[in-house]
Amino acid sequence: MRSDLKSFTELHYLNLLSVPVVAILLPSRYSNSVLKEDDVLRPRIAFIGTGGTIASIGSDPFDLLDYNASGARVDAREILERTGLQDAVADIVPVDFRQIDSTAISLTDWADLADLCCELASDSTLAGIVVGHGTASLEETAWLLSLILDLQVPVVVTGSMRPLTGISSDAGANLAAAVRVAATRTGGGVFVVMNDEVHCPRAVTKSHTLRLNAFQSPWQGPIGTVDGPTVTFARLEPHRPALLFPRDLLRRLPRVDITYSYVGADGCAIRAFAEGGAKGIVSAGFGPGLGSPAETAALADAVSAGIIVVQSSRTGAGQVVDSARHQSLGIIAGNDLSPQKARILLALCLARGDSPRSIESVFQSA
Ligand code: ASP
């Protein structure tokens, strides 16, 4: 986030902006802007549909589990129509993109989505962008976008745990909340909005296969809430230009694999990844960030072969110890990033041609 939007006073202004009011206090960077009342009451928000459960059509309202079987998904316009949100919360402009399951999101999809966000953001009449996404890989797409996009409008990624047609579906509620966050004129940033909570992409993870409150930021909690029309930010992530990568790197991300530790792991997967051409390997290690002895030996061999190895943890939260042993082997500590997020950061660093030392400092500051 922009550092000039960090103070609580200004955050309070953001809160006010989400409520239909006539007198408006603006954050300092907008203090010379003239906003018509209509602009605030009816912000224009682009809604990009990528597919996922939020776009899925079940066989009947009680089909809450196996709706993927039919593969029936609708585009952004139809999601708005079916949820009745077309004109309800904002002037929402549907932008069709893909209708895929998020388990099928590819590097090309990421690159195209980032390009589309940039193209949309160049339209000065848009106040924000909402991306509807499958929940399976939502946290990865949001994290990736946060490392690439440096836009003047917020990008809010949302999805749903129940299909669009399911009984008590959260599709409409999540979309409405996401639109409200996208309309808060935060001045940029990428957010995840699910279940009336705002999360930062770095911390959020899908922590349950089915529950409506599956999206959590373990040990950190949400950064904001959405209560009806009121968006309240408790805190905003600092804007970190050093963690921004050029968009064109997305078209040439190298192979980076993840290896998962378990009792008796013998390093076979690590050797297979190396033979498969991995340029980087992330180890989702035991609690403190440790592989089994055989894995550590295989990772050391990978480092010797020129593969960049990042040590992460399978626990789901907490800092990985930058142990003396890892340092001596040239294994980089993954900070407190989940393995899947460490993988994205490592792939971007490698695509940029960073040296091992630079990659280490990127992870330390991430
Ligand atoms: N299978 C879905 C997906 O596209 C799951 C979901 O969206 O909740 O990720």
Residue 52 CA to ligand 1 center (angstroms) comes to 4
pLDDT band at 23 (very low <50, low <70, confident <90, very high): very low
Q: Which of 67-71, 157-161, 192-196, 285-289 has the lowest mean pLDDT?
A: 67-71
pLDDT band at 225 (very low <50, low <70, confident <90, very high): very high
Average pLDDT, integer, range 303-308: 98
Average pLDDT, integer, range 278-283: 98
- Ligand 1 pocket, CB under 6 A: 52-53, 68, 101-103, 134-136, 159, 161
From 135, 164, 165, the mutation candidate for ligand 1 (largest count of ligand atoms within 8 A of CB) is 135
Average pLDDT, integer, range 109-130: 97
Residue 235 CA to ligand 1 center (angstroms) comes to 28
50 is catalytic: no
Residue 49 CA to ligand 1 center (angstroms) comes to 13
Q: Which of 28-42, 102-116, 188-202 has the lowest mean pLDDT?
A: 28-42
Closest atom of ligand 1 to CA, residue 161: 8
Residue 221 CA to ligand 1 center (angstroms) comes to 23
Average pLDDT, integer, range 81-87: 92
Residue-wise DSSP of 310-363 = EEEESSSSSPPP--HHHHHHTPEE-TT--HHHHHHHHHHHHHHT--HHHHHHHH
Average pLDDT, integer, range 226-240: 90
Q: Whole-model pTM?
A: 0.89
Average pLDDT, integer, range 322-338: 94
Integer-rounded Cα Rg, in Å, for the chain is 21
Active-site residue (options: 9, 50, 53, 184): 53
Residue 72 CA to ligand 1 center (angstroms) comes to 12
Residue 42: predicted pLDDT: 85
HEC letters along the chain: CCHHHCCHHHHHHHHHHCCCCCCCCCCHHHCCCCCCHHHHHCCEEEEEEEECHHHECCCCCCCCCCHHHCCCECCHHHHHHHHCCCCCCCEEEEEEEEEECHHHCCHHHHHHHHHHHHHHHCCCCCCEEEEECCCCCHHHHHHHHHHHCCCCCCEEEECCCCCCCCCCCCHHHHHHHHHHHHCCCCCCCEEEEECCEEECCCCCEECCCCCCCCEECCCCCCCEEEECCEEEECCCCCCCHHHCCCHHHHHHCCCEEEEECCCCCCCHHHHHHHHCCCCEEEEEEECCCECCHHHHHHHHHHHHCCCEEEEEECCCCCCCCCCHHHHHHCCEECCCCCHHHHHHHHHHHHHHCCCHHHHHHHHHHC
User: Closest residue (by CA) to atom 8 of ligand 1?
Assistant: 135
96: part of which helix (H) or strand (E)? strand 91-100
Residue 41: predicted pLDDT: 59
Percent above pLDDT 90 for the chain = 81
Residue 181: predicted pLDDT: 97
Average pLDDT, integer, range 221-247: 92
Domains of the chain: 3-242 (3.40.50.1170), 253-365 (3.40.50.40)
User: Closest residue (by CA) to atom 3 of ligand 1?
Assistant: 134
Closest atom of ligand 1 to CA, residue 53: 7
Residue 185: predicted pLDDT: 83
Average pLDDT, integer, range 55-72: 91
In the structure encoding, which two tokens stand for residue 296, read together?
A: 């550590």
Residue 277: predicted pLDDT: 98
Closest atom of ligand 1 to CA, residue 137: 9
Separation between Cα atoms, residue 18 and residue 126, nearest integer Å: 15
pLDDT tops 60 at residue 325: yes
pLDDT band at 12 (very low <50, low <70, confident <90, very high): very low
Question: Are 291 and 180 in contact, with CB atoms under 8 Å apart?
Answer: no
Percent above pLDDT 70 for the chain = 89
pLDDT tops 80 at residue 321: yes
